[in-house]
Structures are given as C-alpha cells and as structure tokens.
Amino acid sequence: MESALVEEITKKFDGATPRESIDHPAVNIPVDLLLSVVEWLRDEKSFDLLMDVTAIDWSEDASPRFTGIYHLASTTKHEYIRLASNCEDDVEPELPTLSKLFPAANWHERETYDMLGIRYKGHPDLRRILMWDDYPYHPLRKEFPLAGIDTDLPAADVAEATGAKVIPAPMMGGPFHAPQTGAMSKREPRAADQSWNEAKPKPSTN
C-alpha cells in the first residue's frame, strides 16, 4: 500500500524498503536499524502502542529463514504500521529486543522465543512462557509435526513414578484438507498430519 509514512521511512533510513500489504502501511527494515526505526516512530510519529510481536518461519531450507513482524499503533492518530525484519542467522536466529522501548514487548518476545526459537538480544528475562522450562522444541516451526513429538514429562520424579511420557496426539481422521499444489487428480483430501494411519499403526500408549 502506498503511503506517505512509508516513503518517509525509506528516505530517512537507508536500506528500508516498502513491503507489500493490502491493509496497513508496511516496511521491511534491516535488523540493525530496527531499534532506531521503532524509537523514531514512537517519539516522532506517536506510534505509542505496540500491538503485536511475532515472526514467520519460511521453512527449513529457506534463507533468510525467519522474519520478525511488528505491529505498531497510534492511540492519538489511529494509524497502524507493520514492520518486518529478517533474521540474519538461519540456525540461531536473533533479533534486537524492544522491551526497553515498550514493556509490552517483554511477553510477546518471550512467546516468540518459546514458539519459534528466535532469541531477543538484550531481553531482560528470556524464559519460556507457554511451554514448560525444559521443553526441547519450538512448536510453531514448520518442521515440527502437528501431532507433537514424544517428550519426557517436565518433572523427572513424576515420570519415574508413573512411567508416563508426553506422546504425540492421534491425528488419524483429521483435520482434512487437500494439498494446494500438484495435479488435481492427485489432490485427494488427506489428514493434515499423518503421524499414524492404516499403514503406520498408532504408537502404543503404555
């Protein structure tokens, strides 16, 4: 979307490019400029409300693999802007933290770290927030199966006493959708995750 604000940002900050968007103004920002752009938007352009921090995983073999997405709003002018920043490292993705500019970023960044494994440089308290502390995976990454992965229980003593584990969810029977690519004759609707099916039996629960 064409907008005067996008033009101003791309002129002022070297390397910032307009981003395709169908609703709000959107800009691609190089990682090292992200903090200064956000600070400028907050102080000069009254984008004082950080609505959302998230990221997109472009799949395992894409490079750059992760893009951080930020949504800022203005409580006085009722405008929105979307910022996007690619992580330079594909294996150990990292972005600068916004928690010094916006306290709201604290939890949002913890969540993005938990779900996608992006580390926020300078974050005061980068712990897991939705999963438990020792959980070994980042579930929103594209290679993580919908059913989940076999994992030990968070408490070792409970696991020892009960012999229980966190087992993948039975996905047989749905949710169904057809693949979006390929010849139509091959696009049979199938379960989104084939963790177990007729050919591969359900993992035993004991």
Partner 1 sequence: MASETEISYGDIAGRAAQFESDDLHGEEMLLNMGPSHPATHGVLRLKLKLDGDVISGCDPVIGYLHRGDEKIAENMTYNQFVPYTDRLDYLAPLANNVAYAIAVERLAGIEVPARCQAIRVICCELARISSHLLGLGVYGMDTGALTTFMYTFTEREKLYTLFEELTGARFTTSYTRIGGLTRDMPDGWMGRVNNFCNQLVPIIDELDKLLTRNRIFVDRTRDVGTITKEDAIAWGLTGANLRASGVELDIRKAQPYSGYENYDFDVPIGSAGDAYDRYLVRMEELRESIRIVQQAISKMPDGLFYNDEAKKIFAPRKDKVLTSMEELIQNFMIVTEGPQIPAGEVYFEAENPKGVLAFFIHSKGGGVPYRLKIRGPSFCSLSILEHICPGHYMSDVPVILGSLDFVMGECDR
If the CB atoms of residues 10 and 54 are measured against partner 1, the closer one turns out to be 54
**Residues 6+ positions from 20 with CB-CB distance below 8 Å:** 26
Stretch of 33-41, 108-116, 152-160, 194-202 lying at the interface with partner 1 (CB under 8 A): 108-116
Binding to partner 1, residues 176-195 (CB under 8 A): 176-178, 180, 187, 189, 192-193
If the CB atoms of residues 77 and 200 are measured against partner 1, the closer one turns out to be 77
Site string for partner 1, 115-134 (x = CB under 8 A): x------------xxxxx--
Shortest Å distance, C-beta 179 to partner 1:
9
By CB under 8 A, tell whether 80 contacts partner 1. yes
Shortest Å distance, C-beta 146 to partner 1:
5
By CB under 8 A, tell whether 71 contacts partner 1. yes
Rounded CA-CA distance 20/177 in Å is: 28
Rounded CA-CA distance 97/111 in Å is: 13
Shortest Å distance, C-beta 160 to partner 1:
23
Handedness of CA 97, 100, 102, 104 (dihedral sign): positive
Shortest Å distance, C-beta 16 to partner 1:
17
By CB under 8 A, tell whether 170 contacts partner 1. no
Count of beta carbons in the 10 Å neighbourhood of residue 170: 13
Three-state secondary-structure class, residue 17: strand
Count of beta carbons in the 10 Å neighbourhood of residue 60: 10
Shortest Å distance, C-beta 175 to partner 1:
4
Burial 71-98 (b: 16+ CB within 10 A, else e): bbbbeeeebbbbbbbbbeeeeebebbbb
Rounded CA-CA distance 33/68 in Å is: 13
Near partner 1 by CB under 8 A: residue from 89, 144, 159, 168: 144
Q: Give the neighbor-by-neighbor strand order of the sheet with 17-18.
A: 17-18, 26-28, 80-86, 66-73, 49-57
The site for partner 1 (CB under 8 A) is made up of 19-24, 26, 48-52, 54, 56-57, 69, 71, 75, 78, 80, 82, 102-104, 106-108, 111, 115, 128-132, 139-140, 144, 146, 175-178, 180, 187, 189, 192-193
